[in-house]
Structure 1
Amino acid sequence: MAKYLILIYGDEQRWDAESEQERHEKGEGHRAFSAAATVLAGHELEPSTTATTLRGGPMITDGPFLEAKEALGGFYVIDAADLDAAIAAASMLPELASGHGGVEIRPIVDHDRPDHG
């Protein structure tokens, strides 16, 4: 088994405009995902306007690291047999059907594996 970080991106203005019914349906989608995947951790994030960024020096700025149309809205850490299994699990996330979101899947380095020193 390997660990994967699933990052959920979308348009914050569209998230803010969701109806109560849309939020409920999205919540049901996340509950179905959590029941099907081996979720080790996961959280919805506060809006990107609450972010604080540190840059070399350090210089402290308000807001996210990058200015982009899509913002990071939440994440999961899952255990999956391989990347194909992680993709299959992540494809259940309701943000993929929203028309404005996306999901990034990143393997987590396992320092306990012999090939990762």
Structure 2
Amino acid sequence: MKYLLMMQVDRGVLDSLTAEQNEAIGTGHGAFMDAITASGEFILTQALGDPAESSVIRASGGVPQVQDGPFLEAKEFLGGFYLVDVDSKERALELAAMIPDSKIDGLAIEVRPVMFSKAADF
């Protein structure tokens, strides 16, 4: 079963971290990727840019229009994700708890099953 482990980021929380905490997050992600690669559960990961750099395509009168945005009121945003292939939801939850962000107050990992998947041909 494939699951998306989505890292919910709060810019205020990240900005308040010490240099040591930031280094621990980077090192922790490296160790996490090594572990899930070795176990055969890793598919891919992506880190996403800040929402301030985003654009939104939204229909206006049935015609797609480009808008700046999304300008959400929420403090949290999707900062990145891991796509994993695991035997159960319980294992996906175990893996999510291993991501260093899950140990920092104010950050979160959302675990969501993938309903459809098609890989790009490279």
Q: Do they fold alike, i.e. is TM over 0.5?
A: yes
2:98 corresponds in structure 1 to 92
RMSD: 2.0
- Runs of 5+ consecutive residues of structure 2 not aligned to the other structure: none
- 8 Å contact kept, 1:53–1:65: no
- 8 Å contact kept, 1:36–1:89: no
User: Which of these residues, 47, 50, 56, is aligned with residue 47 of structure 1?
Assistant: 50
The normalised TM-score by structure 1 is 0.81
Cα 1:95–1:64 change in 2 (3 A) is farther
How big is each residue's C-alpha offset from its partner over 1:29-73, in whole Å with a ceiling of 9 and x where there is no partner?
112221232221112111111111122332322223743110111
Alignment of 1:1-117 (within 5 A): 2-37=1-36, 38-57=41-60, 58-64=64-70, 66-110=72-116
Cα shift at 1:17? 4.2
The normalised TM-score by structure 2 is 0.78
Matched position secondary structure for 1:60: strand
Matched pairs, number: 111
Quick check: 71-80 or 10-19, which moved more?
Answer: 10-19
Code of the residue aligned with 2:106 in structure 1: it is H
Q: Which runs of 4+ in 1 moved over 6 A?
A: none
- 8 Å contact kept, 1:12–1:47: no
Matched position secondary structure for 1:49: helix
- 8 Å contact kept, 2:52–2:71: no
